[in-house]
Structure 1
Amino acid sequence: MRIIPAIDIIEGKCVRLSKGDYDTKKVYNESPLEVAKLFEGHGIQYLHLVDLDGAKSKHIVNHKVLESIASKTNLKIDFGGGLKTNEDLHIAFESGANQITGGSIAVKDKTTFMGWLKNYGPEKIILGADAKDEKIAVSGWQEESDQELVPFIKSYQKKGVNYIICTDISKDGMLEGPSFELYKKILSQTKKVETLITGSGVEDKEVLGIKLIASGGISDFEELPKLAQIGCEGTIIGKAIYENRISLKQLENYILENG
């Protein structure tokens, strides 16, 4: 399971929110680049970078921070927040993003999102499935939609989406543990069955259908092996790192032990 620390940006600074509420903003570092270099120094290879100004403004804002981190580290960055147009996407990839996450756009403008998927491929485009009470939330979590979480994911799985970041908003930033049962439910309902013809006849083989990245609520190190065990492909860790609930040394050792 990939370890993916998060850096959320407001006004160019590294911040964290609770349950997506901008009024709970806490600044942890004035320099996101400094934080990214610290992660890289502990063997971390991936970064989840969120433009919270962009999410609120509905267009990319902090692409210079992305460009700085991408050019001065070797981290593989997935970038999200406010990506609404083809121009936003172009700026994100030109600024050094390896992948982008589309959340609100996948709800409100499916045609554009599917265009991205077709043009860039499923390895570059992540579906952001952020939910509260198993209903999809959009616009930096400022709005709830009437779309059910699992059917929403399954509908895009059928259209070729491979990577899903699922955040349970009620858990995000609360340090109360992730939504294990929700992730089990998603994984169980998105598994694929392949029919194989073997020497002994025809048999069905169950294979993983999506690459699910768990996000929200991570509170201590012991939760990570549990997420790996249920089949999560990656996990995004934010406040637990910044509040020293999980040390970078623990993450470094986990990466070394698990390849």
Structure 2
Amino acid sequence: MIIIPAIDIIDGKAVRLYQGNYDKKDSIKGEVLEIAKSFKDAGAELIHLVDLDGAKEGKLVNEDLILNVVKTLNIDVEVGGGIRTFEDIKALIDGGVRRVILGTVAIEDKELLKKAVEEFKEKIAIAIDFKDGFICTKGWINKSKTHYIDLIKEIKELEVTNIIVTDISKDGTLEGPNVDIIKEISEITNIDITSSGGIKNIDNIITLNKLNIYGCIVGKAIYSKDVNLKEAIDSVK
């Protein structure tokens, strides 16, 4: 399992939200590039970047900043938030982004999803963001009528290679991840799973590692110093 540190971006600045609520926003000290460099220096092989402005507005807003991180640091990143067109997907990948994360598109534009996976294959990941069992879209503001299990079964036919699973009720809470759901999903699919949301400490990471999943995203726990990134990376080697 790899540890993937997260940077959420609003107005070009790093922030953390509580359960995806834009009204419960904490600013993070330091510039996005500076924070990303500290993650690289700690040994991270992949960084999770989310354009929260983009997620809310339905279009990429912080693209230049994100691509500058890739170019300046020469590090792999995965990017989500507001990516709703083929042109945006291509621009990110052409700019050096390792993996583009599609969330709203997976529910609202099946043709684009299919086209993106066919064209870019393992460079496309699907965000399985849910609350009370149902997928949420558009920056987690809208709750769909699609259950997370149904979406996973659906995308299985598209040869998607990576899904990022977020229980929104856990995100930014430091209450621990929803291990039961991660385990449930790992038992019904052979797609690589990245767990996101709720990490509180190294023990949470060790527990997820025992499930033999692909990755674990850690955000708030790093900023609150509940998790030392280098120690977390070393714990799963």
Whether TM exceeds 0.5 here: the answer is yes
Aligned equivalents of 2:228 and 2:65: distance in 1? 24
Q: Which residue of 2 aligns with 1:112?
A: 112
Aligned equivalents of 2:195 and 2:215: distance in 1? 6
Return the letter of the residue paired with 1:18. Y
**SS in structure 2 opposite 1:29?**
coil
CA contact (8 A) 2:3 2:233 kept: no
Per-residue deviation, residues 125-173 of structure 1 (Å, max 9, x unmatched): 0011100111111000000001011121111012211100000000000
Q: Which residue of 2 aligns with 1:96?
A: 96
Q: Which residue of 2 aligns with 1:247?
A: 228
Q: Which residue of 2 aligns with 1:78?
A: 78
> How many Å apart are 1:252 and its aligned residue?
4.4
Q: Once structures 1 and 2 are overlaid, which stretch shifts more, 209-218 or 73-82?
A: 73-82
Gaps of 5+ in 2: none
> How many Å apart are 1:231 and its aligned residue?
2.3
TM-score, L = length of structure 1: 0.89
Q: Once structures 1 and 2 are overlaid, which stretch shifts more, 67-76 or 42-51?
A: 67-76
Which of 207, 214, 217 aligns to 2:195? It is 214
Whether 1:29 aligns to 2:10 is no
Aligned equivalents of 1:151 and 1:231: distance in 2? 23
Aligned equivalents of 2:125 and 2:8: distance in 1? 17
Aligned equivalents of 1:227 and 1:245: distance in 2? 17
Number of aligned residues: 237
> How many Å apart are 1:249 and its aligned residue?
3.3
Return the letter of the residue paired with 2:205. L
Aligned equivalents of 1:188 and 1:4: distance in 2? 22
Correspondence 1:1-259 to 2 at 5 A: 1-121=1-121, 123-190=122-189, 209-254=190-235, 258=237
CA contact (8 A) 1:130 1:168 kept: yes
Gaps of 5+ in 1: 191-208
Alignment RMSD, CA only? 1.1
Aligned equivalents of 1:52 and 1:177: distance in 2? 23
Q: Once structures 1 and 2 are overlaid, which stretch shifts more, 244-253 or 27-36?
A: 244-253
Aligned equivalents of 2:120 and 2:111: distance in 1? 14
Aligned equivalents of 1:147 and 1:253: distance in 2? 37
**SS in structure 2 opposite 1:50?**
strand
**SS in structure 1 opposite 2:158?**
coil
Superposed structure 1 runs of 4+ greater than 6 Å apart: none
CA contact (8 A) 2:206 2:235 kept: no
Return the letter of the residue paired with 1:134. G
TM-score, L = length of structure 2: 0.97
Q: Once structures 1 and 2 are overlaid, which stretch shifts more, 91-100 or 225-234?
A: 91-100
> How many Å apart are 1:30 and its aligned residue?
4.3
Larger Rg: 1
Higher relative strand content: 1
**SS in structure 1 opposite 2:226?**
coil
